[in-house]
Amino acid sequence: DIQGAAERDRSLELARTRIAGLSPREREVLERLMAGGTNRTIAKDLGLSPRTIELHRSNLMERLGVRTVGEAVSVATTAGLRPRQNGG
């Protein structure tokens, strides 16, 4: 129905706006979280410390307005973001 389509359009636009507000590094961390990466594996892939990844993860979740990684993945998926595998 029209109301449902309008709701989906609003959700899509909100998700895209939130993703656009991330720094390139935060987006990179999010893409790796979507692929199932842990702070430790993401840190190793990016040549950073796990603590640095924790900070990026915390910042990106705050910017997305979410509390869990699952919610962050949901926003990212709605926005059309795809998981990034190791080195990809």
For residue 67, what is the DSSP state?
S
- In the chain, % of residues over pLDDT 70: 97
Q: What is the mean pLDDT of residues 65-73?
A: 96
Check if the beta carbon of residue 69 is closer than 8 Å to that of residue 77.
Answer: no
pLDDT of residue 23: 97
Three-state DSSP state, 34: helix
Check if the beta carbon of residue 82 is closer than 8 Å to that of residue 34.
Answer: yes
pTM given for the model:
0.86
Residue pLDDT, tens place only, 41-67: 999 999 999 999 999 999 999 999 999
Whether residue 15 has pLDDT greater than 70: yes
